[in-house]
Chains A and B, each alone.
Chain A
Amino acid sequence: MPRVEHGWVSVFFHVIAASALMFLLLPIAMMFPLSLEPGTMLRFPPQGVSLHWYSDYLKDGAWIASTILSFQVALGAALLATVAGTFAAVGLAQASPFVRNAALLILMSPLFLPTVVAAVAIYGVYAALRLVGTPLGLVAAHAVLTIPFVLLNVQSALAGAPRALDEAAMSLGAGPVAAFWQIKVPLIRRGIAAGAIFSFLISFDEVVIAKFLSGTQAVTLPKRMLDGIFYEMTPMLAAISVLLVLMNAALALLALALVRGARKDT
């Protein structure tokens, strides 16, 4: 049983915490009723119950093209970041303290520095190289942004994994490549998978870099939503929001379960 340790302070904090959680969750929950509106105006409560904004979305060529592009970019970015990030995490564990600290500082910097500055900086380079509006340009920029998340997840998986097993395999005659793929990777697979999922999620939802790099040719789903919110608030945006909320919640739950599983393995 939770013990009340601080008298009225504890009671007061429980009340505030409950309200704060409502404040966090309410706007997201609002999307569900708003998306059922049969008319063209956002209304709460909705005037009726209709799923036509969902089918309108699925029939709209431009929205679907953006959705498919976002999936492609997010899958590409997650793949690139996961491969590079996993190698890097294993490399960090072997490196000398100096190399480790310097590499960490560089690799983690995209996590801490303002995305808008990164977006402007990359945009400047891409404009010169004619990479604005290309899916490949988005993939590369998003991969850089999400490498820190792969790194964090794989690092904590490595910290929990038994260290000497790959060395034991090598002393029994396995080459370093075989030891890596057959021993190391299976040991940290949950951390790798969690990093890949977080990486996918971040890229799929990313809007600041996409705003600069999408151009007119490669408009991702968040970029199209941003324009929609600016110019025309329709219940279709609520319907898309519901789909996004459900997908993100499912993927985040899966990744968090993997993180927890990786911890239990140890």
Chain B
Amino acid sequence: MSTPRGLGLLAPALLLVCVLFIVPLVRLAGLSLGETTLSLHAYAELFGAWSYGGILLRTLRISAAVVVGCLLLGYPIGYVLAFSTPRRRALLSLLVLLPFWTSVLVRNFAWIYLLRDGGVASSFAGTLVGSDQPVQLLYNEIGVMIGMINTLLPFSVFPVFVALAAQERTLREAAASLGASPARVFWTVTLPLSRAGIYAGALLAFATALGFFITPALLGGGRVLMAATFITQQVEEFLNWPLAAAASLILLAAVMILVALYRRIAAFNLPGGEHAAG
């Protein structure tokens, strides 16, 4: 055999992905090293300017807050899924999956309406913090976080569900038979044993959050500049390809590291866990 088995069948897909994805990325990497002469100028500019550092910090801060929000809301959903009858589990996972398959524009449009000044949400938030003034929830980081948590929530639900569903019930029964209260069984057995699901869900949500573009643009109203917004601006407004390319490569590297970490966790502890990404 002159060619490895299966390569002929793989060729069309590999050709498509290489020509339209890998080659453009390599070209982008080249651009980040200067358009005419080889230099690290773009990277120096990116790390040298305070304003760019602010964008990086904001991207990390918002993404981290979004991950915390996703886990606080997603863990309970994963928990309920794992401890449901198969029938109820099927229904509940549909309720999580249908929003996942709804256009991100539809959800952002809804949030702009729901969070606007003088809307129900902003008055309610005002009451919550004890002020008679409505709290501004739109066109700032809070609005962006709400929209991003709404989109990324399913990413944290399914890894948690898989980790909880894979647990042996005998472990919980053993703890209970040794006198642990039901709540203590959770805190000392169930929760620690679902760590892999928590880490996997967090990594997946964080890696995706770093590259978010539409939600920060719409719910941030141009006032919440994140990494993806910055890249777009450099390309469309300033035509500064080297800077856009350098920022893209750093974003890419960060996401690749997170995905590699996720795959290590998923491979060992979450059989089929990566399907949550689909």
Complex alpha-carbon distance, A14 and B181, angstroms: 19
Complex alpha-carbon distance, A110 and B22, angstroms: 9
Complex alpha-carbon distance, A149 and B100, angstroms: 14
Complex alpha-carbon distance, A20 and B105, angstroms: 20
Complex alpha-carbon distance, A118 and B22, angstroms: 9
| Chain B residues whose C-beta falls within 8 Å of the C-beta of A109 in the assembled complex | 17, 21-22
Q: Total interface residues on B, using CB and 8 Å?
A: 89
Complex alpha-carbon distance, A90 and B111, angstroms: 43
| Chain B residues whose C-beta falls within 8 Å of the C-beta of A212 in the assembled complex | 235
A30 contacts B by Cβ under 8 Å: yes
Task: Among B31, B108, B113, point to the contact of A34 (Cβ < 8 A).
Answer: B113
Complex alpha-carbon distance, A13 and B77, angstroms: 7
Task: Among A28, A107, A121, point to the contact of B13 (Cβ < 8 A).
Answer: A107
Task: Please state if A3 and B17 are interface contacts (CB–CB under 8 Å).
Answer: no
* B79-93 contact mask (Cβ, 8 Å, vs A): 1 or 0: 110011100100010
Task: Among B23, B24, B74, point to the contact of A20 (Cβ < 8 A).
Answer: B74
| A5-B172, A28-B99 known; A144 vs B12 contact (CB < 8 Å) | no
| A24-B99, A230-B218 known; A87 vs B9 contact (CB < 8 Å) | yes
B1-53 at interface with A (beta carbon < 8 Å): 4-14, 16-18, 20-25, 27-28, 31
| A91-B7, A99-B6 known; A241 vs B97 contact (CB < 8 Å) | no
| A7-B181, A120-B244, A229-B105 known; A13 vs B79 contact (CB < 8 Å) | yes
Task: Among B231, B275, B277, point to the contact of A112 (Cβ < 8 A).
Answer: B277
| Chain B residues whose C-beta falls within 8 Å of the C-beta of A151 in the assembled complex | 13
Task: Please state if A95 and B10 are interface contacts (CB–CB under 8 Å).
Answer: yes
Stretch at the interface among A46-54, A55-63, A78-86, A162-170: A78-86
A117 contacts B by Cβ under 8 Å: yes
State the total of A-B contacts with C-beta under 8 angstroms.
Answer: 283
A193 contacts B by Cβ under 8 Å: no
Complex alpha-carbon distance, A212 and B183, angstroms: 52
Task: Please state if B186 and A6 are interface contacts (CB–CB under 8 Å).
Answer: yes
Q: Total interface residues on A, using CB and 8 Å?
A: 95
| Chain B residues whose C-beta falls within 8 Å of the C-beta of A174 in the assembled complex | none
Interface residues in chain A, defined as those with a beta carbon under 8 Å from any beta carbon in chain B: 1-10, 12-14, 16-17, 19-21, 23-28, 30-31, 34, 42, 44, 80, 83-85, 87-88, 90-96, 99-100, 103, 106-107, 109-118, 120-125, 140-141, 143-144, 147-149, 151-152, 198, 201, 205, 207-208, 212, 222, 225-226, 229-230, 233, 237-238, 241, 244-245, 248-249, 251-253, 256
Query: Could you give 22 example pairs across A and B, Cβ below 8 Å?
Result: A14-B76, A17-B76, A20-B74, A25-B99, A88-B14, A92-B10, A95-B7, A99-B4, A99-B6, A99-B10, A100-B6, A109-B22, A111-B278, A113-B252, A113-B256, A114-B211, A117-B211, A120-B244, A148-B278, A207-B103, A226-B214, A241-B110
